[in-house]
Structure 1
Amino acid sequence: MDYVMLPVARLKLGNTLPIDVWAPDGRLLLRRGQAILSEQQREMLHAHQACMTASDARAWQKSYERLINTLLQRGADLDAIMRAELPSELVETDYLSGAQVLGGWLDLQEILRGLLYQGEAAINPLPRLAGTESRALELLRADPDECLFILFQALADISLGYCATHALLSAVVCALTAEKLDMAAAAGGSLFRAALVMNIGMAREQDKLAMQSSLPTEAQRVLVREHPCKSVELLRLMGVSDEDQLDIVRWHHEVNESHGLAHNVMARRLLRLADGFVAKMAARKTRLAMSPLGAAKSVFLGATPDTASIGSAMATALGFYPPGTYVQLFNGEKAVVVARGLRANQPQVVSIVNAGGMPVSKYLYRETSNPRFAIRTPINAERIKVKVSLEKVQKARKEHTD
């Protein structure tokens, strides 16, 4: 039977255990429903190298991810989330997905957020990270436009938690840009994995910074500067041994390219630009989000010839108005971009607010190559007071293609 080490140090005395506890030789140490009642008992479990089955470990991790998601939906502050204990109960659905990571982009966001929050304390983290990577690449290959739409929409919803959305979107931007640069192998390997975990050293603080109404404190500024090193330390503790992935994470903020492994220079450049691009498109309490065009200009301002080529490829891969972002048309309507077009400045859009400022009940597909429906200007997500329905977007896209 496959066993996973029990996180004995994280268990609160008196709380019941939702899983059986085993020794590596198969001896049962505690039955589910029992509790650790003393420090002496905790030390005994350490001495016996207490374990749990791999299926129990995955289910417990899933229950923790569900708990974090519930706390966020209830508006709990980050301090309360940081104090959240491992759940004392599991439900049947916690076991359904087994070793495979299933679901859509928001399911992946929930799983990844739990792993980033817990770091080296996560239960059986590497298989979950591998499953998240595999499922993300599968979804990306199936429909890149829907992928961008969902993640850019999630980026504007701070209640979902910022750190995991930023990581997934950065990874996707890297993958799509790498394809344009003929770096497809890197997109599905070390670079993609590095993007998912580059900020694990400050994941909780990253969410806190996204929600706080004051400027970063000096301690937070120090953490932002030092988080690449901390991220690598945590990843090594988790068992990550891919030296290319660790190298890209360690130097993803560094402009001086003499550091790190020479063959990863292009991957580090790409991740640094994707990281900055996504960050500038995310709103903060202290500032509005930039438009995609504004973010691109800000990130690529003063670019070297090498980074300029990456910026050009990124603009080609995403378009000037990526799916999930908003625009105003020349006829006065406000629309959400639903897919990239043949030209970077002519995406596919559906109108969600009419020229009079009223929401429309049925989304209207608009052809932006038509001068009447051409894009006048991008719009910040904060200015859109309508909740966009993915179902209506999919219906409008389908009706247009049928």
Structure 2
Amino acid sequence: MPKYVPVPLERVQLGKPLPVDIWSPGGQLLLRRQQILSTEAHRDMLAERQACMTEADAQAWQRSLDRQMRRFYNEGADLSLLAQMPLPSEIAEDDFLPGHEVSGGWMDVQDVLRGLLYQGVSAVSPLPRLDALEDRALALLQSNPDEGLFTLFQALPDLSLGYCATHALLSGLVCSLTADKLALKPSARATLMRAALVMNIGMARLQDNLARQKTAPNPAQRQDIDDHAALGVTILQRLGVLDPSLLVIVQWHHTPDLLEGEGAPLMLVRLMNLADALIAKMAPRQVRHAMLPLAATKMLVMQSSPDTVQLRQAMAAALGFYPPGTYVHLANGETAVVICRGARANSPHVASIINANGMPLSTYNYRDTSTSGLTVTAPVAEHTLHVKVNPDKVKRLRQLHGV
């Protein structure tokens, strides 16, 4: 027997066709889909009979409402008004398909995203999947941005996980945090995250192959790199993506200076360009080691121009000199992994993983590097360490010290 859930009748629109069948709790059909709830009396009658719908219909209806709310939200609608929106009178066919939800942590999102990027134009039900990826990434970001930075920076050197998806999520996270520093609208933050997820869809497999390749790109690969932004836009349009701001970001994220005009789209394109380049510098390749975050962040700021100085400074402040998930030497001789950004860019919260004698620690020690004698003396390159960080130990340490 199907599982039934109550219909929120107060949010059903009068005079519009119902997109679901309406049942009694006992399974008696009260109204067929496409019939109309005509009057308040009709609504009251259904309420008295405890109108229900199947759980599958309820989930599909909610997905359609979520998409509608997201569109209005990205257009700047008032959040308090969105919470009172009526249920839509139509449900997209894709919303009845199961399996669009994304649960779990950042690496679960990374895994689903990698599959979508690899599938490209062949992806099935791409828009609901992209919606779910964006929603989950933003929810995780809202919950604990430092955990996201830690997880993804720890994953960045592991090229077997798929560099394209890790790079995309880190770029989106850095863009979103920078947007907060710049006090941009929430809609800009959401657009940046979604654009980051798909900006390299035109070269996802190539991006992963190049990261593992032991030689520089050959001429054919170089041409594919040059063409990937335009190809990405074509793929996204064929998948049904219509958001002009998102398509502009994907089109111009490598060449923002060629984009004509001013205002919000250009700012978002420049932000994506900066985050994309910054994460690429801090990611290893088979042909080179990763640039240390401190060096990459200093380069980010030193290359400022009048058009980008504010954006670069905001990004550096948002990320810090020693991002969570990277490594540092301390004044007391210990080597530590950064677990949380601090009040200042140069004073993160860390967990010591190697003692002053060079021996790995079985029990990690929390250190606040703003404290005298525990300051950061230098960043440490990941490839020079032979210790694997235990994320569960880090999580317990963060919880214990409230960071």
TM bucket by the smaller chain? 0.7 to 0.9
Correspondence 1:123 to 2:107: no
8 A contact 1:257–1:265 mirrored in 2: no
Separation in 2, partners of 1:390, 1:97:
32
SS of corresponding position for 2:109: helix
Q: Deviations over 1:273-293 (max 9, x none)?
A: 000000000001111101112
Correspondence 1:103 to 2:100: no
Residue number in structure 1 paired with 2:61:
none
Correspondence 1:201 to 2:217: no
Task: Give the counterpart letter for 1:142 in structure 2.
Answer: S
Residue number in structure 2 paired with 1:339:
340
TM superposition shift of 1:126: 1.1
SS of corresponding position for 1:336: strand
8 A contact 2:138–2:190 mirrored in 1: no
RMSD: 2.2
SS of corresponding position for 1:271: helix
Separation in 2, partners of 1:374, 1:300:
23
Distance 1:262 1:341, change over 3 A: closer
Separation in 2, partners of 1:191, 1:166:
14
8 A contact 1:251–1:259 mirrored in 2: no
TM superposition shift of 1:191: 2.0
Separation in 1, partners of 2:263, 2:400:
49
Separation in 2, partners of 1:183, 1:262:
12
Show the 5 A alignment for 1:275-290. Answer: 275-290=276-291
TM superposition shift of 1:185: 2.2
Task: Give the counterpart letter for 1:288 in structure 2.
Answer: H
Separation in 1, partners of 2:317, 2:265:
23
- Whichever of the two has the greater Rg, that structure is 2
TM superposition shift of 1:267: 0.2
Show the 5 A alignment for 1:120-199. Answer: 120-199=121-200
TM superposition shift of 1:228: 0.5
8 A contact 2:335–2:354 mirrored in 1: yes
TM superposition shift of 1:243: 1.0
8 A contact 2:300–2:316 mirrored in 1: no
Task: Give the counterpart letter for 2:392 in structure 1.
Answer: E
Correspondence 1:235 to 2:236: yes
Correspondence 1:306 to 2:318: no
Q: Which moved more, 1:371-380 or 1:200-209?
A: 371-380
Distance 1:330 1:97, change over 3 A: farther
Separation in 1, partners of 2:98, 2:158:
27
SS of corresponding position for 1:306: coil
8 A contact 1:210–1:284 mirrored in 2: yes
Separation in 1, partners of 2:252, 2:261:
7
Structure 1 stretches of at least 4 aligned residues deviating more than 4 Å after TM superposition: none
TM-score by length of 2: 0.74
Residue number in structure 1 paired with 2:401:
400
Q: Deviations over 1:148-176 (max 9, x none)?
A: 10011111211111000000000000000
Give unpaired runs (5+ residues) of structure 1.
1-53, 56-95
TM-score by length of 1: 0.74
Give unpaired runs (5+ residues) of structure 2.
1-55, 58-96
SS of corresponding position for 1:305: coil
Task: Give the counterpart letter for 1:284 in structure 2.
Answer: R
SS of corresponding position for 1:363: strand
8 A contact 1:174–1:187 mirrored in 2: no
Separation in 2, partners of 1:258, 1:392:
47
Task: Give the counterpart letter for 1:336 in structure 2.
Answer: V
Separation in 2, partners of 1:305, 1:341:
28
Separation in 2, partners of 1:156, 1:371:
31
Separation in 2, partners of 1:197, 1:314:
21
8 A contact 2:301–2:316 mirrored in 1: no
TM superposition shift of 1:258: 3.8
Show the 5 A alignment for 1:305-384. Answer: 305-384=306-385
8 A contact 2:179–2:189 mirrored in 1: no
TM superposition shift of 1:381: 1.2
TM superposition shift of 1:120: 0.9
Q: Deviations over 1:217-262 (max 9, x none)?
A: 1111111111110100111111111111001110111142443785
Q: Which moved more, 1:316-325 or 1:261-270?
A: 261-270
SS of corresponding position for 1:322: coil
Q: Number of matched residues?
A: 311
TM superposition shift of 1:186: 3.9
Separation in 2, partners of 1:106, 1:139:
11
Residue number in structure 2 paired with 1:391:
392
TM superposition shift of 1:301: 3.7
Residue number in structure 1 paired with 2:29:
none
